[in-house]
Amino acid sequence: MEKEIEKELNVNEYSPLSLAFIGDSVYDLIIKTKIIRAGNKQVKKLHQDTSHLVNAAAQSTMMRTLQDLLSDEEREVFKRGRNTKSVSPAKNQSVTDYRRATGFEALVGYLYLQGKYERISELVEIGLASLMEKQKEK
Protein backbone atom coordinates (compact mmCIF):
# COMPACT_ATOMS: atom_id res chain seq x y z
CA MET A 1 0.00 0.00 0.00
CA GLU A 2 1.46 3.33 -1.04
CA LYS A 3 1.71 6.10 1.44
CA GLU A 4 -0.29 9.10 0.31
CA ILE A 5 1.84 12.20 -0.05
CA GLU A 6 0.27 15.46 0.96
CA LYS A 7 0.99 18.47 -1.16
CA GLU A 8 2.15 21.33 1.01
CA LEU A 9 0.80 24.67 -0.10
CA ASN A 10 2.40 27.97 0.56
CA VAL A 11 0.21 29.64 3.20
CA ASN A 12 -0.02 32.65 0.88
CA GLU A 13 -1.78 30.44 -1.68
CA TYR A 14 -4.74 29.70 0.59
CA SER A 15 -7.90 31.67 -0.08
CA PRO A 16 -8.88 34.18 2.60
CA LEU A 17 -12.01 32.16 3.36
CA SER A 18 -9.93 28.99 3.84
CA LEU A 19 -7.71 30.90 6.26
CA ALA A 20 -10.81 32.21 8.05
CA PHE A 21 -12.24 28.68 8.19
CA ILE A 22 -9.28 27.37 10.20
CA GLY A 23 -8.84 30.67 12.07
CA ASP A 24 -12.41 30.49 13.36
CA SER A 25 -11.70 27.07 14.88
CA VAL A 26 -8.38 28.17 16.37
CA TYR A 27 -9.92 31.26 17.98
CA ASP A 28 -12.88 29.23 19.26
CA LEU A 29 -10.51 26.72 20.88
CA ILE A 30 -8.43 29.49 22.48
CA ILE A 31 -11.53 31.10 24.00
CA LYS A 32 -13.00 27.79 25.17
CA THR A 33 -9.68 26.90 26.78
CA LYS A 34 -9.56 30.24 28.60
CA ILE A 35 -13.18 29.84 29.77
CA ILE A 36 -12.71 26.30 31.07
CA ARG A 37 -9.45 27.20 32.82
CA ALA A 38 -11.34 29.91 34.71
CA GLY A 39 -13.23 27.18 36.59
CA ASN A 40 -15.60 24.29 36.28
CA LYS A 41 -19.14 25.36 35.35
CA GLN A 42 -22.26 23.91 33.84
CA VAL A 43 -21.94 23.42 30.09
CA LYS A 44 -24.73 25.94 29.48
CA LYS A 45 -22.76 28.61 31.36
CA LEU A 46 -19.55 27.66 29.51
CA HIS A 47 -21.39 28.12 26.23
CA GLN A 48 -22.83 31.48 27.28
CA ASP A 49 -19.43 32.77 28.38
CA THR A 50 -17.88 31.60 25.12
CA SER A 51 -20.59 33.02 22.86
CA HIS A 52 -19.98 36.54 24.22
CA LEU A 53 -16.44 36.41 22.86
CA VAL A 54 -16.81 34.22 19.78
CA ASN A 55 -19.00 36.33 17.53
CA ALA A 56 -18.53 38.85 14.75
CA ALA A 57 -19.22 41.92 16.90
CA ALA A 58 -16.63 40.96 19.54
CA GLN A 59 -14.02 40.03 16.94
CA SER A 60 -14.68 43.26 15.05
CA THR A 61 -14.21 45.30 18.21
CA MET A 62 -10.96 43.49 18.95
CA MET A 63 -9.69 44.13 15.42
CA ARG A 64 -10.22 47.88 15.76
CA THR A 65 -7.51 47.83 18.45
CA LEU A 66 -5.30 45.25 16.78
CA GLN A 67 -5.11 46.88 13.33
CA ASP A 68 -2.48 49.38 14.45
CA LEU A 69 -0.32 46.61 15.94
CA LEU A 70 -0.10 44.44 12.84
CA SER A 71 2.97 44.03 10.66
CA ASP A 72 2.58 44.93 6.99
CA GLU A 73 2.28 41.22 6.14
CA GLU A 74 -0.39 40.65 8.83
CA ARG A 75 -2.30 43.76 7.76
CA GLU A 76 -2.36 42.50 4.17
CA VAL A 77 -3.79 39.13 5.26
CA PHE A 78 -6.41 40.88 7.39
CA LYS A 79 -7.42 43.11 4.47
CA ARG A 80 -7.66 40.14 2.11
CA GLY A 81 -9.97 38.40 4.57
CA ARG A 82 -12.00 41.51 5.29
CA ASN A 83 -12.54 42.30 1.62
CA THR A 84 -13.51 38.77 0.57
CA LYS A 85 -17.04 38.37 -0.67
CA SER A 86 -18.72 35.75 1.43
CA VAL A 87 -22.18 34.27 1.32
CA SER A 88 -23.93 36.49 3.85
CA PRO A 89 -23.34 37.91 7.30
CA ALA A 90 -24.40 35.94 10.35
CA LYS A 91 -27.77 36.80 11.79
CA ASN A 92 -27.84 39.88 14.01
CA GLN A 93 -24.44 41.07 12.73
CA SER A 94 -23.69 44.12 10.62
CA VAL A 95 -21.92 43.59 7.31
CA THR A 96 -19.02 45.73 8.59
CA ASP A 97 -18.59 43.66 11.76
CA TYR A 98 -18.92 40.42 9.81
CA ARG A 99 -16.25 41.43 7.28
CA ARG A 100 -13.85 42.70 9.95
CA ALA A 101 -14.37 39.45 11.89
CA THR A 102 -13.66 37.43 8.74
CA GLY A 103 -10.42 39.39 8.36
CA PHE A 104 -9.55 38.63 11.98
CA GLU A 105 -10.23 34.91 11.49
CA ALA A 106 -8.18 34.89 8.27
CA LEU A 107 -5.29 36.47 10.16
CA VAL A 108 -5.53 33.89 12.97
CA GLY A 109 -5.67 31.08 10.39
CA TYR A 110 -2.67 32.48 8.55
CA LEU A 111 -0.61 32.76 11.72
CA TYR A 112 -1.70 29.29 12.84
CA LEU A 113 -0.68 27.64 9.58
CA GLN A 114 2.71 29.34 9.88
CA GLY A 115 3.13 28.00 13.42
CA LYS A 116 3.17 31.50 14.94
CA TYR A 117 1.26 30.48 18.07
CA GLU A 118 2.87 33.07 20.34
CA ARG A 119 1.82 35.85 17.98
CA ILE A 120 -1.76 34.56 17.95
CA SER A 121 -1.75 34.47 21.74
CA GLU A 122 -0.32 37.99 21.94
CA LEU A 123 -2.94 39.42 19.57
CA VAL A 124 -5.82 37.58 21.24
CA GLU A 125 -4.74 38.77 24.71
CA ILE A 126 -4.49 42.40 23.55
CA GLY A 127 -7.79 42.11 21.71
CA LEU A 128 -9.59 40.58 24.69
CA ALA A 129 -8.21 43.23 27.03
CA SER A 130 -9.49 45.98 24.74
CA LEU A 131 -12.85 44.24 24.43
CA MET A 132 -13.21 43.98 28.20
CA GLU A 133 -12.26 47.65 28.57
CA LYS A 134 -14.90 48.69 26.05
CA GLN A 135 -17.52 46.55 27.80
CA LYS A 136 -16.72 48.27 31.12
CA GLU A 137 -17.29 51.65 29.47
CA LYS A 138 -20.87 50.70 28.52
Query: Catalytic amino acids?
Result: 24
Handedness of CA 35, 130, 103, 83 (dihedral sign): positive
The span from the CA of 57 to the CA of 20, in Å, is 16
Q: What share of the chain is helix, strand, coil (3-state, %, to 5)?
A: 70, 0, 30
Q: How far is CA 33 from CA 36, 105, 125, in A?
A: 5, 17, 13
